Amino acid sequence: MSDTLFTKIINREIPADIVYEDDLCLAFKDINPQAPLHILVIPKKPIAMISNATNDDENLLGHLFLKAGDIAKDQGYGEAYRLVVNNGEDAGQTVFHLHIHIIAGRSLKWPPG
């Protein structure tokens, strides 16, 4: 996988408003927020999209989702947030580095999109 915008954020080659970081992931505010809270949680391991993840990534994927919930809570949206993962261009993925959107702070309709 070639370096993406998110890889450059991980490597501190471009700035981001980082709200959380550990050895496995990084979370930062989306530059084009779709709600009052819109944070992206990304693995430091380069995985282009969820369909490219393997059984070896099981613990990492669980970690990402648990951290997303912790971040939503830390931001004041503990019980009212949406997690979104787009897989592929037709699903709306524009950066091919796996990421979870945490969206909260406004009424969210169903179905999305």
Q: What pLDDT shows up at residue 1?
A: 59
Q: Which two tokens stand for residue 17?
A: 């408003």
Q: For 47-105, how does the pLDDT look when each residue is reduced to its tens digit (9 = 90+)?
A: 999 999 999 999 999 999 999 999 999 999 988 999 999 999 999 999 999 999 999 99
112 pLDDT band (50/70/90 cuts)? confident
Phi, psi of 61 (to 5 degrees): -65, -40
Domain architecture of the chain: domains with CATH: 5-104 (3.30.428.10)
Residue numbers annotated as active site: 99
Q: What mean pLDDT comes out for the span 13-28?
A: 98
Cα–Cα distance, 18 to 15 (Å, whole number): 9
